[in-house]
Chain A
Amino acid sequence: MDKMLRDKKSILVFMLPAFLLFTLVLFIPIVQSVYYSFCDYKGMTAPVFIGLDNYKNLLSDKTFGIALKNSMFFLVFSCVSQLLIGLIYAAVLTNINKGRNLFKNIIYLPCVLSSAALGLMWMFIFSPKLGINQLLEKMGVEEPPLWLMDTKGSITLPMWVIAFVALWQYVGQSMMLYMAQISGISKSLMEASYIDGCTKPMTFRYITLPLIKPMVATALSLNAIGSLKFFDLIFNMTEGGPNHKTEVLATHLYQQGFKYFKYGYASAIGVVLLVLCLLVTLFINKVVKTEQYEM
């Protein structure tokens, strides 16, 4: 080990590609975005420094308010639903032998499919003239719900629909993470608990759950960040409509940047998004306290 660490050249050679990639693809654009967020920048002319104006304008931007509310809804919904359903799937699948791989693959499959294609597929399924509504009409429902067009309520029906589609798509990822952690728990621990008189639910509560807590924190953080920067399904299913009711931070950023050339303003939204991601990750790591056990 010491010999390896003494070879500075090798260390440099191995680190350089990752360092360059990280700097060029991530670090420099983030710094640039932060700078642009303080500028009036249209993309075609040089940026003009305007201080905090973009951030002040965010406060009076109604669409930003809707987008922030929807992003927060998405964050809470995804974290809670994926945590619960992902855990249930993982617990059930690790305890069955027959069909485990089949169900695992079925549940995980949407994760590896293109979100754009899935978004379009679900858009057709929920279209008023196709899919579910055709079926409902044939069953005698006179005015089936307008799944992606309803505008009533604080969180509109299209937001719920998209949230469930996202749950269907990404729950497999949480399930896999939990399954990987559960598989790593020593069988002797489980057996010891059974000998001590634990039932299966009790074993899950007192042995499995505490041991997978670090993975819960990781999965929650991944869910939270993914939910905050969620874009593709929404863009393909509703494009943020009707009338911005399903706008989230990422779609609003896209519209401001690419539709209205307001790169400075869009960068400010991006910075808010970045800060939110950091805060939520910190919060999760603080709340989900993990202890290291030997498994």
Chain B
Amino acid sequence: MKKRRILATLMTAAMFATTLTGCGGNTNESGGSANNNATNAGNSAKKDDVQEITWMFWDDLDATEDLISLGYKQTIERFNKDYEGKYRVKPITTNLEEYYNKLNALVSAGETPDVFIVSPGPQLTDYVEPGVAAPLDEYLNKDGWKDTFTSDAVFTQQTYDGKIYAVPLNTAAACCFYNTEMFEKAGAKVPTNWDEMITACDKLKTAGYTPVTISAGTAWCLSMVAGYLCEAEGVSLPKLADGSASWEDGKLENVGNKLVEFSKYFQRTAAGDTNDVATANFYNEEAAILIQGSWVIGQINGSNPEFESKCGVFQFPGVERIIAKSDSLCMSSSTKNPEAAAALIKYFTDDTAQKYTAEKGGKIPVTKVQYDESVAPKQLSYVMDVFKGAKGTFGFYNESMPTTETGAHFDDTMVAVFLGDMTPAEAAKDMEDYYKTNCRK
């Protein structure tokens, strides 16, 4: 009886200890292998004066094949090694779809990560306006850091009332990626206007290929195409926001009609496919065209390196400007270690990181770094050509609207048009009503 009691006590203690260990170990798990490596590097030199900061990112560094994400992982490891005994970074990672939900939950709980990635536009505004993100001018102006960037223009979308609240890490442009082999076999030509795009899709379809792979499950992917179609129609977002233009002026209706016409060439599962699935359809050669940001180069080449030679790039037909976007890092205004956080952000824009961005990741660097074009992915040079040929850039439509929710409403409306839940005219009316109620004063 006594033995049994002792055994029971020991088992209870062991269970309780396991539970506590489980709770304690949780933070380390989220970072994947980079996190573990980073933590190990830090632990070996753990001293009382080591400043520990957190960095939150939208990809699982342990499982990813995306070359850009792997580059970020290397940067974290390099930082932890170089600052061993002084600073240590703990990554908090999650998938892209859940990223903002989890970040917002942490912010609300008063546990904002010291450094976190964010898209410029209303999403960044969400963190700047309530004072969650800290201004970074003080650090950027120190030691000529700001001068390493290609120009001050790279900070345009990150500047609020003259203060810079985020540092861009790279630039990507939304382009049409295509399978050159499928185009050749189908006798399709690279389109330069909308009619040629439809002709090319027709030829691809006749040849037995799925012409376009797209994700409506991840609504912004479909909405990106709608954004380009709006650009072609001459939609002006600032005028719509101030009420001097109306969504019901016929332009959005035309966009909707074109989108419906174009949707005949989408893969059958477009309604529910996620961004990753739609992209995989392309690099697994199940579809001929993928309309996506050039950040996808890292994903394509990381997942199927052989496909690089078959992958061409052309500008979305019928528009003169291209959609451009950058990943940006914010510093929490509540961080206890701002110097460490600033040092980390700086590491993401140093020559090593920026060279990697271009040479391996295939994204456009934001600094004046010299990189070896001959080793960079072929697609990057095509994207650079598109950039040079374009007459300017504009932001993602959903990120250029007054609020995050307005952008999401636009995305959903475009998906509704694609699904046939709304006619293009109804979509235009819906957007106008939404703007009247929520966006115009």
Chain A hits for B415, CB < 8 A: 242-243
Contacts A43-B108, A146-B272, A151-B421 given; indicate if A242 touches B217 (C-beta within 8 A): yes
Secondary structure dominating the interface of A: loop
CB-contact partner of A241 in B101, B108, B126, B272, under 8 A: B272
Q: Is the CB of B97 within 8 A of A239?
A: yes
Please report the C-alpha to C-alpha distance between residue A261 and residue B59 in the assembled complex, in whole angstroms: 22
A259 touches B271 (CB 8 A): no
Give how many A residues have a beta carbon under 8 Å from the other chain's beta carbons: 25
Contact B271 A44 (CB under 8 A): no
What's the least CB distance linking B354 to chain A, in Å? 32
Query: Is there contact, CB below 8 Å, between B130 and A42?
Result: yes
> A128 CA to B210 CA in the complex, in Å?
15
Our pick among A148, A151, A238 for the contact of B419 (Cβ within 8 Å) is: A151
**A45-B130, A242-B419 as given contacts; A259 in contact with B268, CB under 8 Å:** no
* Inter-chain residue pair count (beta carbon < 8 A): 68
Give B216's nearest chain A residue, CB to CB: A242
* CB-based contact B219/A243 at 8 Å: yes
Question: Does the CB pair B405–A260 fall under 8 Å?
Answer: yes
CA of A177 to CA of B84 in the docked complex: distance in angstroms? 58
Size class of B's contact patch?
A: 20 to 34
Closest to A149 in B: B272
- Which of B100, B272, B412, B416 has the largest count of A CB atoms less than 10 A from its CB? B272
Enumerate B73-106 residues with CB–CB distance to A below 8 Å: 97, 100-102, 104-105
Contact of A244 with B by CB under 8 A: yes
**B104-A259 in contact (CB<8A):** yes
Q: Which residues of B are found within 8 Å of A238, using beta-carbon distances?
A: 272
Per-residue CB contact flags for chain B residues 206-231 toward chain A (1 = under 8 Å, else 0) read: 00000000001101000000000000
* A258 CB–B CB distance under 8 Å: yes
Whether A2 is near chain B, meaning CB under 8 Å from some CB there, is no
Residues of B within 8 A of A258 (CB): 100-102, 104-105
Chain A's closest residue to B108 (CB) is: A43
Q: Which residues between 292 and 324 of chain B lie within 8 Å of chain A, taking CB atoms?
A: none
B100 touches A259 (CB 8 A): yes
Contact: A243 with B269, CB < 8 Å? no
Provide the residues of chain B in CB contact with A243, threshold 8 Å: 216, 219, 271, 412, 415-416, 419, 421
A196 interfacial by beta-carbon distance below 8 Å: no
Tell me if B401 is interfacial: C-beta within 8 Å of chain A.
no
Q: Show the binding face of B for A, using Cβ within 8 Å.
A: 97, 100-102, 104-105, 107-108, 126, 130-132, 216-217, 219, 268-269, 271-273, 404-405, 408, 412, 415-416, 419-421
A-B contact pairs, 25 of them (CB 8 A): A43-B104, A43-B108, A44-B108, A44-B131, A143-B268, A149-B269, A149-B272, A151-B271, A151-B419, A239-B97, A241-B217, A241-B272, A242-B216, A242-B415, A242-B419, A243-B216, A243-B415, A243-B416, A258-B101, A258-B104, A259-B101, A259-B408, A261-B104, A261-B108, A262-B405
**A151-B420, A239-B97 are known contacts; what are 7 more A-B pairs with Cβ within 8 Å?**
A44-B132, A128-B272, A150-B271, A244-B412, A258-B100, A259-B408, A260-B408
Please report A residues at the B interface, Cβ cutoff 8 Å. 42-45, 128-129, 143, 146, 148-151, 238-239, 241-244, 254, 258-263
